[in-house]
């Protein structure tokens, strides 16, 4: 073994020009503190750019904080996972870094009976508890929808006088803001109630497969438990149904300008059969258009129900493809048949106790696992869609009082600063001060400074990780979700030093080999650029990009494991995918020809300045080594947000 290589320490990362003093964007507890330096530098932190690919505006840390905190609480306080506590997290130079917390060896045994009692309860009552979960989550969303952030009246209404309300309404703004935050927190706690369990069941099956079928590919295991028809795909399926109906009704000609929503819907309404289509369109929206093209963690994420041009555009594209005779439905029957074949062929190799154990574990994993995919619609899309809409409503109202220059500038405040603003407004308005609240003379300058800081931070990409990695990364949740394996970390460390030029390696996330032209998408707003049969290259994908998956030939991402959204969706669409390459989106440029091998986990750049060298002969590009032996035990935590 040569000297251990390390990632940079936090203090060694250069601060981008103009970003000096960036720490004040975030609360103290989110940044590395000088007095904790030695302790923090001794830990290995990896960047979660899968969920947080871009720099946080101050208010936006709420999603990262709630998600990673609530994830950890289920390991550390609810389920008492014997060997894994939660994940510590810090924001550094605008990006989120995470460090899993192991349980001290001597405390593991004492947690076992607690763990068994708690997990046992959930697995034995899965269906009823999950039903209850849906009601709790719906209740939170419904209440959130009732919260209003309206401008204050000029005077208290006569009705409030006569009824003896005796309050001026500013308390409603204060209460509703606090309630909005609390409700978001509540659904993030619920989010993880079943998620870690889904992973536990999955990992149990995973480990058993690795035991009876040494070297079984991770992909095979994923395929055996993955749901084929899921709520997460429902929004996309609704669009396909709407496109199909439009073709049936002969309405195609009205979809020429889907960016003009009003004109398009007007023309459809005036057409024969158009009302039937509009009824179906309205029906689909609740709840399935609570769906974002982002991932629910950013204030700038666009949701279908607020940007109807997005679903209309997708429908128009589906209509075009239907008219060209293409099939737009996912090959569901084939996927089910293939899944059944794979399960059956593995089963045929077992008998007796082994077969019984395999069946029991697969059945538990197949029951629990769909939650891991479906919850995403309820929380990231639906809850957060309502949440961000309410935040924007509040921001607009405060903008109306002159607190800031742009409607959405509230995002440049930390969430606790918003409470100050609300009390400033309550006072300024309440006392009838001629210049109103003080904020309009205070915040614009600060917001301008913060805007510049965020923009400066965005000029740099995050480090893949910080400090010295452990000798081996065996923790399966980390491997499965973030694609962070010993080999992956080594390849990040050795980038540019070894390996074949022009060949990127990542997780073999969805099988198949194709060649095609790359389309690099750094922002979901650019999704419309994707042309038929291109290969999508992105830092990370969101499940709501569904409609583009019917159009592309393969997907390559920087971040993500076997169970990342890109991997799941690509398997669902039977497209090759290589995830967790680390740097595909920065080393590939749009227009380059690529060969994507989703069976081996390699991406070869076939032309341009950074192309792979030409090697003659069949199989010339392949020099792979065995994957690391599987982890049989975890010293980590289920982690998915």
Partner 1 sequence: MTLNPYIQSFDDGREPALETLGGKGASLVSMTAAGMPVPPGFVVTTASFDAFVHEAGITEHVHTLLEGLDAEDVAEVDRVSAAIREDLCSRPVPESARAAVVEAYATLMEACGGEVPVAVRSSATAEDLPDASFAGQQDTYLWLTGREAVTEHIRKCWASLYTSRAIIYRLKNDIPNEGLSMAVVVQKMVNARVAGVAITMNPANGDRSKLTIDASWGVGEMVVSGQVTPDNILMDKITLQVVAEHVGDKHAELVPDPVSQSLVEREVPAERADIRCLTDAELTAVARMAKRAEKHYKCPQDIEWALDADLPDGENLLLLQSRPETVHSNGKGTAGQAAAQPTPATPAAPGGFDLSSITSSLTGIGK
**Contact positions with partner 1 (CB under 8 A) in 502-531:** 508, 511, 513
Residue choice 183, 364, 530, 540 for contact with partner 1 (CB under 8 A): 364
Tokens found for residue 282: 């309205």
Structure tokens at 160: 């409030």
543 touches partner 1 (CB under 8 A): no
Q: Confirm if 251 and 268 have CB atoms less than 8 A apart.
A: yes
Contact 454, 95 (CB under 8 A): no
Contact flags string 599-618 toward partner 1, x per CB under 8 A: xx--------------xxxx
Segment contacting partner 1 by CB under 8 A, of 16-24, 108-116, 490-498, 549-557: 108-116
CA distances from 221 to 205, 263, 365, 636 (A): 8, 49, 10, 20
Binding-site member from 2, 106, 124, 327 for partner 1 (CB under 8 A): 124
Bridge partners of residue 594, in order along the sequence: 516, 605
CB of 258: closest distance to partner 1 in angstroms?
40
The rounded Cα 365 to chain-centroid distance in angstroms is: 22
- CA–centroid distance for 344 within its chain: 33
* 627 in contact with partner 1 (CB under 8 A): yes
- The continuous run of DSSP H or E covering 86 comes out as strand 84-92
Q: Of 220, 285, 427, 583, which lies in the binding site for partner 1, with binding defined by CB under 8 A?
A: 220
Q: Is 123 in the site for partner 1 (CB under 8 A)?
A: yes
Nearest-angstrom CA–CA distance, 550 and 570: 10
Element (H, E) at 443: helix 443-458
Per-residue contact string for residues 223-242; x = within reach of partner 1 by CB under 8 A: x-------------------
Choice from 270, 336, 337, 349 touching partner 1 (CB under 8 A): 349
Nearest to partner 1 of 364, 536 (CB atom): 364
Among 25, 47, 173, 200, binds partner 1 (CB under 8 A): 200
Q: Which of 95, 98, 99, 97 is nearest to 15 (CA)?
A: 95
CB 571 within 8 A of CB 223: yes
CA distance 250 to 222: 41
Phi–psi pair at 629, nearest 5 degrees: -65, 150
Sheet of 465-466, strand order: 84-92, 95-102, 45-47, 465-466
Rounded CA separation 341/356 (Å): 18
Counting contacts by CB under 8 A, is residue 353 touching partner 1? yes
Angle at 242 between CA 239 and CA 243, to 5 degrees: 85
- Phi then psi for residue 471, to 5 deg, are -55, -40
User: 112 or 270: whose CB is closer to partner 1?
Assistant: 112
Dihedral angle at the C-alpha atoms of 540, 523, 18, 448, nearest 10 degrees? -130
For helices 170-212 and 384-400, give the axis angle rounded to 10 degrees. 150
Q: How far is the CB of 207 from partner 1 (least distance, A)?
A: 5
Contact pick of 350, 517, 574, 606 for partner 1 (by CB under 8 A): 350
Number of residues that bind partner 1 (CB under 8 A): 67
**Nearer residue to partner 1 within complex by CB, 324 or 353:** 353
Residues 578-597 that bind partner 1 (CB under 8 A): 597
Of 286 and 344, nearer to partner 1 (C-beta) is: 344
Distance, CA of 197 to CA of 273 (rounded, Å): 48
109 part of the interface to partner 1, by CB under 8 A: yes
Residue of the chain from 204, 309, 449, 490 that contacts partner 1 (CB under 8 A): 204
Stretch that binds partner 1, among 54-62, 88-96, 109-117, 130-138 (CB under 8 A): 109-117
Residue ranges in 43-82 that form contacts with partner 1 under rule CB under 8 A: 81-82
SS3 content of the chain, % helix, strand, coil (to 5): 55, 10, 35
For partner 1, the binding residue among 142, 260, 323, 345 (CB under 8 A) is: 345
Task: Tell me how long the chain is.
Answer: 641
626 binds partner 1 (CB under 8 A): yes
Query: In this chain, which stretch among 117-125, 393-401, 413-421, 566-574 interacts with partner 1, using CB under 8 A?
Result: 117-125
Cα–Cα distance, 514 to 235 (Å, whole number): 28
The single residue among 207, 451, 472, 590 that binds partner 1, judged by CB under 8 A, is: 207
Q: Alpha-carbon distance 268 to 286, whole Å? A: 20
- Contact (Cβ atoms closer than 8 angstroms) between residue 369 and residue 279: no
Q: Is 354 in the site for partner 1 (CB under 8 A)?
A: yes
- Among 403, 635, 640, 641, interactor with partner 1 by CB under 8 A: 635
* DSSP at 226: -
Site stretch for partner 1 (CB under 8 A), options 41-49, 297-305, 358-366, 541-549 = 358-366
- Each residue 145-184 as x (binds partner 1 by CB under 8 A) or -, in order, gives ----------------------------------------
User: Is 120 a binder of partner 1 (CB under 8 A)?
Assistant: yes
CB of 474 to partner 1, least distance (A): 8
CB of 485 to partner 1, least distance (A): 15
Residue 104 found at the interface with partner 1 (CB under 8 A): no
Is 562 a binder of partner 1 (CB under 8 A)?
no
Among the listed residues 16, 169, 217, 430, the single contact to partner 1 using CB under 8 A: 217
In the complex with partner 1, which residue's Cβ is closer, 215 or 262?
Answer: 215
Beta-bridged to residue 507, according to DSSP, are 579
Q: Which helix (H) or strand (E) holds 509?
A: strand 507-510
Query: Which of 30, 136, 364, 377 is closest to 234 using CA atoms?
Result: 377
Using alpha carbons only, give the angle 586, 587, 593 rounded to the nearest 5 degrees.
120
Does 464 sit near partner 1 (CB under 8 A)? no
By CB under 8 A, what part of segment 305-344 binds partner 1?
341-342
Is residue 356 exposed (0-12), middle (13-18) or buried (19+ Cβ within 10 Å)?
Answer: exposed
Q: Does 108 bind partner 1 (CB under 8 A)?
A: yes
By the rule CB under 8 A, 389 interacts with partner 1 = no
- HSE-up of 476 (CA within 13 Å, CB side)? 19
Nearer to partner 1, 120 or 269 (CB): 120
CB of 620 to partner 1, least distance (A): 4
Q: 3-class DSSP state for residue 46?
A: strand
Of the ranges 204-212, 243-251, 274-282, 289-297, which one interacts with partner 1 (CB under 8 A)? 204-212
What span, in angstroms and rounded, lies between the C-alpha atoms of 553 and 329?
15
- For partner 1, the binding residue among 41, 126, 152, 179 (CB under 8 A) is 126
Pairing of strands 535-538, 513-520: parallel
Residues forming the site for partner 1 (CB under 8 A) = 81-84, 108-109, 112, 115-116, 119-120, 123-124, 126, 200-201, 203-204, 207-208, 211-217, 219-220, 223, 341-342, 345-346, 349-351, 353-354, 356-357, 360-361, 363-364, 508, 511, 513, 597, 599-600, 615-620, 622-627, 632-635
């Amino acid at each position: 073994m040569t000297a251990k290589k390390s990632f940079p320490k936090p203090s060694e990362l250069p601060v981008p020009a103009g970003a000096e003093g960036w720490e004040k964007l975030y609360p103290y507890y989110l940044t590395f503190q000088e007095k904790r330096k030695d302790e923090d530098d001794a830990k290995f932190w990896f960047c979660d750019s899968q969920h947080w690919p871009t720099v946080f505006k101050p208010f936006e840390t709420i999603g990262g904080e709630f998600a990673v905190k609530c994830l950890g609480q289920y390991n550390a306080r609810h389920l008492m996972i014997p060997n894994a506590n939660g994940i510590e997290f810090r924001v550094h130079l605008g990006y989120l870094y995470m460090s899993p917390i192991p349980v001290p060896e001597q405390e593991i045994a004492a947690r076992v009976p607690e763990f068994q009692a708690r997990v046992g309860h959930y697995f034995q009552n899965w269906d009823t508890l999950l039903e209850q979960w849906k009601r709790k989550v719906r209740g939170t969303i419904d209440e959130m929808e009732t919260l209003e952030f309206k401008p204050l009246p000029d005077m208290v209404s006569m009705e409030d006088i006569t009824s003896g309300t005796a309050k001026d309404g500013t308390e409603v703004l204060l209460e509703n803001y606090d309630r909005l935050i609390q409700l978001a927190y509540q659904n993030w706690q619920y989010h993880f109630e079943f998620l870690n369990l889904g992973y536990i069941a999955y990992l149990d099956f995973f480990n058993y497969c690795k035991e009876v079928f040494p070297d079984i590919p991770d992909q095979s295991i994923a395929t055996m438990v993955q749901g084929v028809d899921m709520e997460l795909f429902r929004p996309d399926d609704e669009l396909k149904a709407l496109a199909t109906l439009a073709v049936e009704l002969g309405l195609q000609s009205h979809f020429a300008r889907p960016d003009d929503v009003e004109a398009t819907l007007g023309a459809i309404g005036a057409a024969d059969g158009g009302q039937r289509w509009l009824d179906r369109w309205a029906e689909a929206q609740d709840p399935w258009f609570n769906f974002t093209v982002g991932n629910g963690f950013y204030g700038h994420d666009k949701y279908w129900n607020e940007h109807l041009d997005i679903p209309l555009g997708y429908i128009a594209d589906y209509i075009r493809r239907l008219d060209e005779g293409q099939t737009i439905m996912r090959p569901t029957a084939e996927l089910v048949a293939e899944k059944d074949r794979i399960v059956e062929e593995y089963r045929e190799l077992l008998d007796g106790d082994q077969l019984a154990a395999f069946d029991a574990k697969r059945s538990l994993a197949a029951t629990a696992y769909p939650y891991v995919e479906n919850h995403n619609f309820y929380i990231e899309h639906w809850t957060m869609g309502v949440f961000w809409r309410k935040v924007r409503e509040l921001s607009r109202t405060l903008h109306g009082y002159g607190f800031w220059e742009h409607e959405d500038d509230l995002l440049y405040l930390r969430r606790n600063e918003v409470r100050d603003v609300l009390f400033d407004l309550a006072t300024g308005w309440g006392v009838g001060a001629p210049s109103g609240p003080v904020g309009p003379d205070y915040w614009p300058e600060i917001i301008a400074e913060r805007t510049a800081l965020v923009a400066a931070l965005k000029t740099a990409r995050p480090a893949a990780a910080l400090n010295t990695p452990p000798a081996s990364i065996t923790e399966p949740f980390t491997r499965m979700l973030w694609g962070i394996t010993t080999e992956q970390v080594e390849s990040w460390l050795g980038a540019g030093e070894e390996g074949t030029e022009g060949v990127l390696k990542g997780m073999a996330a969805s099988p198949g080999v194709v060649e095609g032209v790359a389309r690099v998408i750094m922002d979901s707003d650019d999704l419309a650029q994707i042309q038929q049969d291109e290969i999508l290259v992105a830092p990370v994908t969101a499940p709501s990009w569904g409609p583009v998956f019917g159009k592309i030939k393969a997907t390559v991402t920087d971040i993500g494991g076997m169970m990342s959204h890109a991997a799941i969706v690509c398997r669902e669409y039977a497209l090759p995918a290589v995830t967790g390459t680390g740097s595909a989106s920065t080393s590939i440029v749009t227009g380059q020809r690529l060969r994507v091998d989703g069976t081996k986990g390699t991406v070869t750049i076939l032309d341009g300045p950074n192309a792979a060298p030409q090697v003659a002969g069949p199989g010339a590009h392949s020099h792979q080594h065995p994957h690391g032996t599987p982890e049989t035990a975890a010293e980590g935590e289920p982690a998915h947000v």
